[in-house]
């Protein structure tokens, strides 16, 4: 599979569920969810990101919204049976999830102080003059700002209809209209869809440029003045469609690899933010590891490329190797327990009571032990160096024998709670 930054705007399929492209997407999801989801994302990430950008108004927020929307759709697919997937209309379904996810984010953003607007990505055209480029950018930026002033549902309808050029029946389905208008100017259906056919524009700067036609011919041969210049405005709105950023795919898909370690072969999953899961091949072999990761984190996986920096050295216990770890999804207490554990030097041990005390919860010894029993990145966060209060090694998620093997390898001295009381 070849990754792309987003589908060509002219390549996007329609809403027709019998479309061969739609059928191919559904078949891929049924055959292999992660591989099929990668194809789905490559095909639709451009349209999802374009809608996200025009809903949020900021590229960084749009990338977050698009990534979260794809992750929500992946988690939903994991619960769908084959029959439901085979009736899916992927584009409308994804964009519905995007709008629903974005609604709360837009509300949250409205409560926060807004920084200055970031520059929008360039909208390159073939051979325009510098003056024309400047004019196009100014017009596009003004239209983007105007979109931001519309109510959420109406803004969504305008973006779907004119920026990503969806059929009005599909727009109605996505924004939840009870029925779709019979034509772009029909009053039937919801107000948002009706209004989306003629987006409101300001006077003055968004009128057609010099040389553009201002009059249209009526069928009876007379001239009718163009007051709103709809063709010009809708053309500018289509120019607001934006390719997905190169990093969006990596924000959704995590990677995994198999490598060696001080305890034998291990499987490692990692995100763009760091290593997120480590298990031995003996405890979670092959597909069991992949399924355990998907179930625990709700994220798709693909085979990895280059290993994260310092990973190999850390897996073999080199004390100066500190690869980044990704502990998203954990509670503050869980992260604090793991952070305290990571400070224990090689060759030393600490009792569980010491860990609980370090995180300010001296009475939570059992809770600290439970966190370490589910340590997502053992070896990198050395939970094998935490022992029972009487100095006995205690349990370990790779087994007590493996724990003693690691402690012997580090020449560790088992210490009791009294020595750290």
What are 43-61's pLDDT values in tens digits? 999 999 999 998 888 899 9
Q: Which of 36-50, 117-131, 162-176 has the lowest mean pLDDT?
A: 117-131
* Over residues 68-81, mean pLDDT: 97
Q: Are 174 and 99 in contact (CB under 8 A)?
A: yes
pLDDT at 222: 54
Q: How far apart are CA 23 and CA 311, in angstroms?
A: 41
Beta bridge mates, 217 = 223
pLDDT at 115: 54
Instruction: Give the tokens for residue 220.
Output: 């009876």
Confidence of residue 122 (pLDDT cuts 50, 70, 90): very low
Q: How far apart are CA 194 and CA 182, in angstroms?
A: 10
Q: Which residue has the higher pLDDT, 161 or 35?
A: 35
Q: Is the pTM of this model over 0.85?
A: no
Catalytically annotated residues: 383
pLDDT cut 70: percent of the chain above it: 69
Domain spans of the chain, in order of start: 9-109+129-211+228-238, 253-323, 327-421
Q: How many other CB atoms sit within 10 Å of the CB of residue 194?
A: 20
Q: For residue 20, is pLDDT > 70? A: yes
Q: How far apart are CA 276 and CA 262, in angstroms?
A: 19
Q: Are 203 and 107 in contact (CB under 8 A)?
A: no
Question: What CATH number labels 327-421?
Answer: 1.10.10.10
Q: 51, 227, 200: which is closest to 192 by C-alpha?
A: 200
Q: 259, 270, 263: which is closest to 379 by C-alpha?
A: 263
Beta carbons within 8 Å of 210's beta carbon, 6+ residues apart: none
Q: Which residue has the higher pLDDT, 320 or 115?
A: 320
Output the CA angle 144-72-79, nearest 5 degrees. 150
Per-chain mean pLDDT for the chain: 80
Tell me: the pLDDT tens digits for 358-378? 999 999 999 999 999 999 999
pLDDT at 150: 73
Side-chain-side CA neighbours of 60 within 13 Å: the count stands at 7
Q: How far apart are CA 59 and CA 61, in angstroms?
A: 5
* Over residues 235-258, mean pLDDT: 87
């Amino acid at each position: 599979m070849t990754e792309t930054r987003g589908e060509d705007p002219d390549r996007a399929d329609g809403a027709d569920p019998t479309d061969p492209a739609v059928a191919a997407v559904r078949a891929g999801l049924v055959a292999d969810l992660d591989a099929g989801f990668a194809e789905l994302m490559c095909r639709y990430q451009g349209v999802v990101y374009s809608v996200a950008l025009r809903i949020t108004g900021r590229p960084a927020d749009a990338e977050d919204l698009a990534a979260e929307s794809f992750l929500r759709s992946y988690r939903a697919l994991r619960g769908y049976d084959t029959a439901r997937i085979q009736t899916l209309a992927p584009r409308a379904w994804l964009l519905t999830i995007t709008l629903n996810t974005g609604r709360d984010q837009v509300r949250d953003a409205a409560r926060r102080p807004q920084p200055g607007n970031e520059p929008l990505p360039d909208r390159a055209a073939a051979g325009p003059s510098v003056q024309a480029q400047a004019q196009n950018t100014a017009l596009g930026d003004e239209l983007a700002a105007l979109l931001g002033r519309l109510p959420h549902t109406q803004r969504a309808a305008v973006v779907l209809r004119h920026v990503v050029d969806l059929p009005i029946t599909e727009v109605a389905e996505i924004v939840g209209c009870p029925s779709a208008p019979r034509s772009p100017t029909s009053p039937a259906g919801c107000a948002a869809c009706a209004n989306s056919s003629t987006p409101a524009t300001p006077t003055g700067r968004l009128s057609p440029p010099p040389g553009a036609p201002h009059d249209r011919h009526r069928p009876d041969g007379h001239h009718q003045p163009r007051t709103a210049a709809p063709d010009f405005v809708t053309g500018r709105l289509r120019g607001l469609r934006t390719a997905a950023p190169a990093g969006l795919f990596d924000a959704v898909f995590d990677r995994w690899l198999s490598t060696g370690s001080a305890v034998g072969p291990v499987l490692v999953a990692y995100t763009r933010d760091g290593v997120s899961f480590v298990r031995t091949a003996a405890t979670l072999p092959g597909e069991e590891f992949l399924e355990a990761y998907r179930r625990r984190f709700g994220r798709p996986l693909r085979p990895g490329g280059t290993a994260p920096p310092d990973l190999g050295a850390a897996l073999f216990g080199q004390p100066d190797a500190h690869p980044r770890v990704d502990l998203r999804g954990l509670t503050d207490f869980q992260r604090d327990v793991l952070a305290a554990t990571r400070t224990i030097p090689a060759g030393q041990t600490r009792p569980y009571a010491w860990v609980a005390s370090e995180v300010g919860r001296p009475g939570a010894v059992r809770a600290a032990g439970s966190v370490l029993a589910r340590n997502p990145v053992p070896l990198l966060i050395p939970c094998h160096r935490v022992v029972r209060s009487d100095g006995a090694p205690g349990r370990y998620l790779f087994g007590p024998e493996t724990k003693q093997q690691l402690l012997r390898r580090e020449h560790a001295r088992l210490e009791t709670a009294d020595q750290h009381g």
